[in-house]
Amino acid sequence: MRYERTQKMTNADFWNQINSIIKDGFSSEGLQKLDHYAELFINGRLVYKRFSQAEQYGCAEGGATNVIASLLAGAEIAANNGSAHYVNDFKGEVECGKKQAECIEHWARCVGCWTDSVDKTLSQSLGEQIAEGGEAKVYDHGATLIKTISLDYFVQPILALDRISLHNAYFPETKLNVLGFGRTENGEFKIVVEQPFIEGSHVSDEQIKEYMCNMGFELRNPRNWTYATPDIYLSDLHDENVIKSKEGNIFVVDCDIRINTPELRCGGRRELTTEVEFIK
């Protein structure tokens, strides 16, 4: 199926189209359209102004599943208020996150990338769980790791998906590929990702600081290992989330990375827009 003249589609037209696909229950034609938009996104013909060019590439590096889920989560926000600013109250933020998760779940079930009782299922299919942090469980998968990421730090799926896209943009050596989604037996929404396994040793706080400063980040709060530029907020960068390989290379394997908005009170200047543009 071909879709022509998308370069003439406006921002409102696009989000109306995505919301129509959602309301129609992800028909066969709707799923084909989503795949088409994902292809345009990955090829750079659909520009998502939420991201810089490098960050959009990072989103694409997370796979088409990451791209489509990010657009579906964005559609919920675009339909309500036209921009992806933080919801003013926590109750509203939770409700917005719930709707995003339900939409992604419906789509993921339709295309076969959904897993019920996800942590139980992965422990049976992959074997040993080798680590657990505040938001993720990690499973040994040979040359790679499988992680199930919760929304504990983010509440809204769109922000958790941002985190994956940003990680891939700034730390491509340990990129996260989105395999799918699921819920735990308690109903907790999870994003399932795959990441290269890096063998090495922990890195000191001073070495991490030097590495991040060389990338242009400023240490803003050593108590929670927070670094920032005017564009990116990054925290939780402690020695368990950074590894030095035998060759002496440093790899960031996990961190809380976000678009740095003024609301984060860390010198941010970005806006969480959902605006898109089609180009030839």
Q: Which of 5-19, 183-197, 250-264 has the lowest mean pLDDT?
A: 5-19
pLDDT band at 29 (very low <50, low <70, confident <90, very high): very high
pLDDT tier, 5 (very low <50, low <70, confident <90, very high otherwise): low
Residues 6+ apart with CB under 8 A from 117: 182, 183, 184, 185
Gyration radius (Cα) of the chain, Å: 19
pLDDT at 179: 97
Which candidate, 93, 100, 41, places its Cα nearest to that of 75?
Answer: 100
For residue 1, pLDDT beyond 70:
no
- pLDDT at residue number 83: 45
Q: How confident is the model at residue 78 (pLDDT cuts 50, 70, 90)?
A: confident
Question: What whole-number percentage of the chain has pLDDT above 70?
Answer: 94
Lowest mean pLDDT among 23-32, 68-77, 125-134: 125-134
Predicted confidence at residue 6, as pLDDT, reads 62
CA-based angle 150:153:156, to the nearest 5?
75
Query: Which pLDDT score, from 0 to 100, does residue 159 have?
Result: 95
Using pLDDT thresholds of 50, 70 and 90, give the confidence band for residue 88: low
Q: Per-residue pLDDT for 157 more than 60?
A: yes
- Looking at residues 27-36, what average pLDDT do you find? 97
Q: Which two tokens stand for residue 268?
A: 């941010």
53-61 and 64-80 helices, crossing angle to 10°: 120
| Mean pLDDT across 156-170 | 97
Q: What percentage of the chain carries pLDDT values higher than 90?
A: 76
Q: Which two tokens mark 24?
A: 């129609």
Q: What is the pLDDT of residue 93?
A: 86
pLDDT at 77: 86
Q: Is the pLDDT of residue 87 over 70?
A: no
Domain boundaries, the chain: 6-197, 200-264
* The predicted structure's pLDDT at residue 92: 84
Contact residues for 30 (Cβ-Cβ < 8 A; gap 6+): 20, 21, 24
The answer to whether residues 161 and 69 touch, using CB atoms and an 8 Å cutoff, is yes
The pair of structure tokens assigned to 21 is 């696909």
Both tokens of residue 223? 């108590």
Tens-place pLDDT, residues 224-276 = 899 999 999 999 998 889 999 989 999 999 999 999 999 999 999 999 999 99
199-205: average pLDDT: 90
Tell me what pLDDT residue 84 has.
44
Give the residue-averaged pLDDT of 43-72: 97
Q: 160 phi and psi, to 5 degrees?
A: -65, -35
Report the chain's mean pLDDT, rounded to a whole number: 91
Q: What confidence category does residue 131 fall into, taking pLDDT thresholds of 50, 70 and 90?
A: confident
Within 10 Å of residue 79's Cβ, how many Cβ atoms?
15
Q: What is the pLDDT of residue 7?
A: 60
Between 131 and 6, the more confident residue is 131
Alpha-carbon distance of 223 to 65, in angstroms, equals 35
The mean pLDDT value for 191-216 works out to 94
* 225 touches 239 (CB < 8 A): no
